[in-house]
Every structure is written in C-alpha cells, then in structure tokens.
Structure 1
C-alpha cells in the first residue's frame, strides 16, 4: 500500500515545531558550552592582564602561553599527580564498585536498603564530602588518627605532609565515586540471564569460575562505558582537592585542575593566559576520551 505524503502546509508546521523544540537546547549549548570554550581558547592565545581582561585589548601571542606552561617547573609534577590521581581512583572505584555490585546481586534480605545507603556519598554535595574528609583526616582532632592512636599507631599528617596529601585526596575521591560504579555495574548485572549461572553450576563451576567466565565477559560493554565516564569525570576533579589541600603542601597534590585555578585566580597577579592553557589541556584530554566513549557506544549499538 502506497504511503500518502502529508500536505505541504502540515509538513511545514511539523518542521517549525521541530525547530521550536531544538532552539532551547541549541541556545543552552551555545551559551553554556560553546561560548565558554571559545573564551577559554581566546584567553590561552592572548596576553591578558587584569586591565586588558576588562577592556578586551589583550595582544595576540599565539602558543606562547602553552610554551610557558610546558616550561613551568610545576608542569611535570602536576602531570604526574593528574595521571596517578586519575588512574588510582579509576581502578579502585571500579574494583570496589564491581565487588559491591556482585555482592548486592545476590538479592539477600535488606539488599535494596543497604544499596540505597551506599548511594549517600554520591548524593551529597562535593563541598560536604570534602569537608567531612578534611575533618576525618585532620592531624590533631581527626577521627582517623584517633583510631590509629587507639591501636598504638603514630598519627599521620594526612593533609599537611607532602608524602600523604595526594593519598588523602585519592581516598576521599574513591569514596565519592564508588556509588556511581556500583549503580551502573549492578544495572549491567541485571541483564545477564540467570540460566547461564544455573547451567554453569550444573557443570560444576565454582563461584570464581562463574564470575570470570560469565559475569566479567558479559559485563565488559558496561564496564567500558563506566570506566570511560569515570575517566572523564576524574580528570577534572577540583572541588575535593582544593577544599582538602588546595594542591599543597608544596604542590604535592596539585593536578591540572587545581593548577589551572591557581594560575588564573589564586595569585595576586593572575596569569589568565597560562591558566586557560592548562584548562584547555584538560579539555583536550576529556574530548579525546569522550570520542572514545562515543565510539564504544556505536560499537555496542551494532552488536
């Protein structure tokens, strides 16, 4: 049976309706994403001072700000801290989240209630979470050192020692990120047919064999998306580090996110250009991994 095309007037009204729905989203993306990215790129390519920032007459310097950032002695440690912070947080958040997801997949009594309680760190504002960990890890009055002292271990300067500051912010960020991994991975486990586990049990497979040969392979697409989203998020973590250590002491917990803020707003004489350049390096890394995420999604859609 032949399909009858809608009349021209109706087709035109449908097109206008489509544009009407697209306009708010387009304006939002332009105002809050495209324009800030353009301004940040412009900042990184010009020699902005406080006066020129207001008046808008900063001279164009090309890639000079990027060269300044690469030559800065802070660049190496900040890059190392960013990589270590991201890699350790990502690995432990995923490992702990997967273990909890498998545990709660057993559907025992109070499983749903306990799973809901694990979401609390994810639901709390970051400033609350970071402030709570600052109190817990306080050298003089923190609960962690009090517990260590009770078992005969000397107190640790978690937030004021260059040897421990990065570890402290990693611990706090892992605590915040585990619930996200738990929720996504637990949802992925729901899609695995129970008949596969029953067949494996009849064949004599133990719990570890069932996990390694059924759960982990079938959870791989969900795991890839979880890791990629976690990677993009962890790269730009700022609030937790800044509230707990401000990137110190002696830049021992400085990452690209905190260094960018420090350059642009943390000094009496702000370096807007270099600060924007560091921010753009983070944006570039996030875009790369975002493209990887889109490619993974397309590959999943084909299978």
Structure 2
C-alpha cells in the first residue's frame, strides 16, 4: 500500500512562488525596539552630552541671563534680579574703557597671532630637516607650552622687572637705559604680548610640524630637479599644502588669544591706567575685581568675546566649505 506524503502548505507556496505570510506582530514590535548596539551608542554619548550641557550650554545660558538683568550680590544669591534687557550692553558701550579695551584686544590678538604663526612655521620648517638632536631641541621648545601659565607669567614678571629684571640688566650692558616694562603705559601692552608669543609658539610649532610631515618628500625632489630653489619650493609646495593645517592653527590661536586673561592679570592687571586692559581682563575686573561687583556689565563684556569667537569660527567654516567645493 502506497502512502503519499504531502509537503506543508508553506513549502508548496515557496516552491510555487506564492506570497508568504506576513510576520507575526510580536516579531515586528521586536524589530522596532533599540538593539544592544544602539543602547551602547547612547551610553557612550551620554557622558559627552552631559559634559556639554553642564560645562558649555548652562554657563552660556547663565552668562546671557546675567547680562540681561541687574544683578547685585544679594540678588545673585536670591535669584530675584530685575530684567533690564540690553541696558548692561549700553553701559558697556558707553563706558570710557570700551574703546581702549577694544583696541588693546585687537592689537594683542593680531600681533600675537602673526608672530606665533610666523615663528612657529619657521621652526617647523627648520626641524623638518631631521638633523642630529632635532628631536631633543624640539622637545625643549615645548617647555613654555607645558609650564603652568602662572609660572610662565610670574617668570616674565621677574625678567621684566624695572629694577632687578634680567632684561634690563642685559640692556645696561650695551648702554641702554632701564625700561619700565610693566609700569609704563607705553610698554605694558608690549610686555604681555612678548610673554604670550613665547607661550604660544610651541603650539604652532607642534601643529605645523605635524602638517609638514604629511607632505610627500617626492614633491620637493621633483621641484629641485626642475631647478626650483628652497624659497620657491616653500612658496609653491609648503604653503599651499599646509593651508588647511594653517587655517585650523590660526583659528584655535585666535580663540585662545581672545580669552587670554591670566598672563595679563599676573603681569600688569590690565594697567597701568588701563594701558594693557583687554576685554578678558575688563570682564573679570567688572565682575570680581571690585568691592561692588557689576555682574551684568561683566557678563556683557564676556558675551562680546563669545560672539567675536563665534563669528570667526563661522568665517572659518565658510572658507573651508568654499575650498572643499573648489
């Protein structure tokens, strides 16, 4: 007796090409649930998000709130300061210190950026020759960058002291009269600029040297075979290929230099007679340097620095986008 077995219905449907049944609702719901990889991604993002909210978003919001209200010490603690709108910004713009502080901030930032980049680039090209002891000398140039800023500023204050500083002692050897570096309105801004350049050169050296390492050496060899001298190779190969690294170096240097406070405050405290006052030191002096602090105007000056850094950052992004599309 022959027994014929029949395959299940779903097997017949698959062989005949018929449509299969829809997955059960439980399986569809399971697919919509976050997977373990997605939970892991959120777990890794959570600390960064919390850090940005606590140390960036909230301070910016708090600083904006300070600049829009009339805060006193009591209202700062109790939290019932009246809303004044843009009154604090008007006070800042009408303050006699605004004009000199703006000029000093621009001069301080521009001069430091130019000299830090120029000296850093020259040193990077020099150390790119890979001569003996180049690694040791390059490490020594990093010392100003590794020292705490309070140590560097205190050292420069001692070196530029009018009476016992080593700089005036060296100048006296060649017959130059002592210079009042830190106590003269004509020299105080120059003094803090010199100190900040010395501190910022190692950063430019490290970043630009790393950029030089990515340039193929074969390009220099081909240019040398074509008769290009060292200066021509620098202008035609080094600078163009180093442009992206130079852009980010200048942007980071700009943001850092705009907010330099500790060097100026330790060396001159913005004086004498506001001769070295910048927006950073002025903001601190308004908010914390007086017996009756002006929290609102101090926050307003700080917000002006934030806006300036944001504008330059947007300009940098726009330039980078144009270069990428070119």
Q: Please classify the TM superposition score into its range, dividing by the shorter chain length.
A: over 0.9
Normalised by the length of structure 1, the TM-score is 0.94
Partner-residue secondary structure (3-state), 2:69: coil
Alignment of 1:101-250 (within 5 A): 101-250=124-273
How far did 1:85 drift?
0.1
- CA-CA distance at 1:8 after TM superposition: 2.6
Q: Quick one: which of 46, 52, 57 aligns to 1:34?
A: 57
Hey, what does 1:261 align to over in structure 2? 284
234-243 vs 8-17, which deviates more?
A: 8-17
Query: What is the rounded CA distance, in whole Å, between the counterparts of 1:18 and 1:196 in structure 2?
Result: 43
Corresponding residue of 2:15: none
Residues 163-222 of structure 1, C-alpha deviations (whole Å, 9 max, x = no match): 000000000000000001001111111111111111111122111111111111111111
* More divergent stretch after superposition (265-274 vs 74-83): 265-274
**Separation in 2 of the partners of 1:255 and 1:109?**
43
- Is there any run of 5+ residues in structure 2 with no aligned partner, and where? 1-29
Partners of 1:10 and 1:188 in 2: how far apart?
45
In the alignment, structure 1 residue 84 sits paired with structure 2 residue 107? yes
Q: Is the 8 A contact 1:221 1:300 kept in 2?
A: no
| Alpha carbons 1:45, 1:63 under 8 Å: kept | yes
Q: Distance in 2 between matches of 1:19 and 1:50?
A: 41
Give the alignment's Cα RMSD to 1 decimal.
1.7
Q: How far is the alpha carbon of 1:232 from its aligned partner? A: 0.8
Aligned equivalents of 1:246, 1:301: Cα separation in 2: 44
Q: Which moved more, 1:103-112 or 1:10-19?
A: 10-19
Paired position in structure 1 for 2:84: 61
- Judged with a 3 Å threshold, the aligned counterparts in structure 2 of structure 1 residues 189 and 35 are, in CA distance, closer, same or farther, namely same
> How far has the Cα of 1:297 moved from its partner?
5.4
> Which residue pairs with 1:3 in the alignment?
none
Please state how far the C-alpha of 1:230 moved relative to its aligned partner.
Answer: 0.5
Unaligned runs of 5+ in 1: 1-6
Q: Equivalents in 2 of 1:216, 1:32: separation in Å?
A: 37
